[in-house]
Amino acid sequence: MYDSFQADRLIDFWLHEDIGQFDLTAQLMLDEDAISTFHMVAREPMIVAGIKVAERVFTRYDDRLKVTVLVKDGQHLNKGDKLLTVSGPSRSIVTAERPALNILQRLCGIASETARYCKELEGTKARLLDTRKTTPGLRMLEKHAVTCGGGLNHRLGLDNGVMLKDNHIAIAGSIGKAVERVRQHLPALTKIEVECDRLDQVAEALAAGADVIMLDNMSLEDMRTAVKTVNGAAKVEASGGINIKTIREVALTGVDFISTSKITQAAPAVDIGLDE
């Protein structure tokens, strides 16, 4: 879920960025009292994400606009399906159109790409995770879109969990020392994840009591060995260089989670139009 207060702050920025002082074309071309009705239409199959944000773009700009939302986040749409209808002052509709479309196309694109990846995991126990590789300023919304597509959220931010990576371990001197240090003041319900790129590190992380062991850029053979070594004593996450062509092979190694930035960084925007 996303926070509506935070979303309003983003929407205000988007509107100001796009409009500037005023919409010159709308002011010159359209009568002040002109009224219109437009429909957002899917121009390709997609998974919905962010429909309430798109609705809010219109009403945030002009509260006289009436928006009827016709779909729900997470819903699968076919080409030609309507997402929402907006009615009211013509000037306001065409002025707010682009920011509303931009964010909806972006979020539906992420949800749709996430769903593609999740489909590759069917029949395995692995679950798909996102990463912190999100568009600056849009993390809350992009991670919401991932859940709409069937994925799970990893850390929302650096304050959301402990992940000991290679630089942390190098500073501490070893995995064992790093885990021991953070555990001294760790919040009671917070888990410790350790990034490992070698099998000896997996054994060390397991001995140190890590809750989650991340296998970073390991070969499929090493992943299978790591899963056997851990043997359920911790959750195992695979990460690094994973894409739609390789994710199923990774899942079949027996890992619990697979994380990839492809579902956010590389997700193409879907095609949505606003038609009268």
**Residue of 43, 127, 132, 133 marked active site:** 133
**Residue of 18, 211, 216, 271 marked active site:** 216
**Residue 142 among the catalytic residues:** no
* Full 3-state SS string of the chain: CCCHHHHHHHHHHHHHHHHCCCCHHHHHHCCCCCEEEEEEEECCCEECCCHHHHHHHHHHHCCCCEEEECCCCCCEECCCCEEEEEEEEHHHHHHHHHHHHHHHHHHHHHHHHHHHHHHHCCCCCCEEECCCCCCCCCHHHHHHHHHHCCCECCCCCHHHCEEECHHHHHHHCCHHHHHHHHHCCCCCCCCEEEEECCHHHHHHHHHHCCCEEEEECCCHHHHHHHHHHHCCCCEEEEECCCCCCCHHHHHCCCCCEEECCHHHHCCCCCCEEEEC
Q: If we measure between CA atoms, which residue out of 224, 227, 223, 252 comes closest to residue 240?
A: 223
**Residue 98 among the catalytic residues:** yes
**Residue of 52, 82, 98, 116 marked active site:** 98
**Residue of 79, 165, 177, 198 marked active site:** 165
**Residue 177 among the catalytic residues:** no
**Residue of 73, 97, 195, 204 marked active site:** 195
**Residue 165 among the catalytic residues:** yes
Active site residues: 98, 133, 165, 195, 216
